[in-house]
């Protein structure tokens, strides 16, 4: 590992450690941006976190001069923000001409399918940021993970979590049906044959066989309900334990229509 690779690794390592410790996002991002700017040769770099209306709620900036800081802010507020809102800009590497040419980039802070903000950078002189695209993308991803770990952003959106839970329940239900239906069918079939063919059964024995028949039928109904679940709702069971809600309103009734 050469020196630059070691520095890249160290920046990402420090972000991971800071995230695991719950360190403040702004201070951690500023330190990471400052180190990354020195490594990549940026005049300025910034992180912006925004809410659902894309209003900035946290920002962190590292710049080698006030002029670079102002130029970066103008780039964000005068160009990139408009491109994001009007043209759905997500990521870009750009070069600008004129008397003082410069280069810039913007990369999203993404977690699952949600864009939490962006990392942007400004570079004067020789354009080298494109060759650092993998590192810059890893840096943005590491900051996004740190933001989620520290600010309590939902790691998994509720609808995604519900879908995953429902999928796990259905898989379990398929297994249960496969493993239980054969012996259950044998039990139910034999009990029903006994009840049909032997009219002279002792009343007490007949009553017990009818209980077995009803219980087996109930097991069959439960396994079928599990297969037809359309939500992953749970209800309290006891002592803080939950169980899957298989009440009729959660069952897809399309088969009965």
Query: Residue 242: its pLDDT value, please?
Result: 67
Average pLDDT (229-244) is 68
Average pLDDT, the chain: 84
Q: How far apart are CA 114 and CA 93, in angstroms?
A: 21
Q: Is the pTM of this model over 0.85?
A: no
3-state secondary structure of 247: coil
pLDDT of amino acid 158: 57
What count of other Cβ atoms lies within 10 Å of the Cβ of residue 215? 13
Q: Provide, rounded to the nearest whole percent, the portion of the chain with pLDDT above 90.
A: 41
Summarize pLDDT for 9-68 with one digit per residue, the tens. 999 999 988 888 888 889 999 999 999 999 999 999 999 998 887 888 889 999 999 999
Residues ≥6 apart with Cβ < 8 Å to 31: 14
Let me know the angle formed at the C-alpha of 56 by 53 and 62, rounded to the nearest 5 degrees. 155
Give the pLDDT of residue 241. 63
Is residue 60 within 8 Å of 29, Cβ to Cβ?
Answer: yes
Distance separating alpha carbons of residues 19 and 151, to the nearest angstrom: 10
What are 146-165's pLDDT values in tens digits? 888 887 654 445 565 566 66
Residue 230 confidence (pLDDT) above 60: yes
Residue 164's pLDDT is what? 62
Confidence of residue 226 (pLDDT cuts 50, 70, 90): confident
pLDDT value of position 141: 94
Task: Look at residue 200 in the predicted model and tell me its pLDDT.
Answer: 82
Q: Which long-range contacts (CB under 8 A, 24 or more apart) does 5-12 make?
A: 7/35, 7/39, 8/39, 8/135, 8/138, 10/35, 11/35, 11/36, 11/39, 11/139, 12/138, 12/139, 12/142
pLDDT of residue 177: 78
Report the pLDDT value the prediction gives residue 154, as an integer from 0 to 100.
46
Model confidence pLDDT, tens digit, residues 93-125: 999 988 888 999 999 999 888 899 999 999 998
Place of tokens 């900036």: 61
The pLDDT of residue 248 is 62
pLDDT of residue 256: 44
């Amino acid at each position: 590992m050469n020196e630059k690779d070691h520095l890249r690794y160290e920046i990402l390592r420090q972000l991971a450690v800071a995230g695991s410790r719950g360190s403040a996002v702004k201070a951690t991002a500023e330190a990471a941006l400052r180190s990354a700017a020195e490594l990549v040769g940026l005049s300025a770099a910034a992180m912006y976190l925004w809410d659902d209306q894309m209003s900035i709620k946290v920002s962190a900036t590292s710049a080698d001069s006030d002029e670079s800081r102002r130029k970066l802010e103008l780039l964000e507020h005068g160009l990139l923000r408009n491109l994001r809102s009007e043209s759905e800009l997500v990521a870009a590497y750009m070069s600008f001409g004129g008397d003082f040419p410069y280069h810039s980039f913007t990369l999203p802070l993404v977690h699952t399918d949600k864009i939490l903000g962006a990392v942007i950078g400004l570079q004067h002189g020789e354009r080298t940021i494109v060759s650092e695209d993998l590192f810059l993308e890893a840096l943005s991803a590491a900051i996004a993970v740190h933001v989620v770990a520290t600010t309590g952003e939902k790691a998994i959106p509720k609808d995604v979590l519900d879908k995953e839970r429902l999928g796990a329940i259905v898989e379990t239900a398929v297994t249960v049906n496969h493993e239980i239906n054969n012996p259950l069918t044998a039990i139910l079939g034999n009990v029903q044959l006994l009840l049909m063919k032997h009219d002279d059964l002792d009343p007490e024995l007949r009553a017990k066989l009818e209980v077995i028949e009803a219980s087996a039928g109930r097991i069959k109904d439960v396994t079928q309900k599990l297969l037809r679940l359309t939500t992953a709702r749970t209800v309290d069971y006891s002592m803080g334990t939950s169980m899957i809600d298989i009440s009729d309103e959660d069952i897809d009734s399309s088969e009965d229509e």
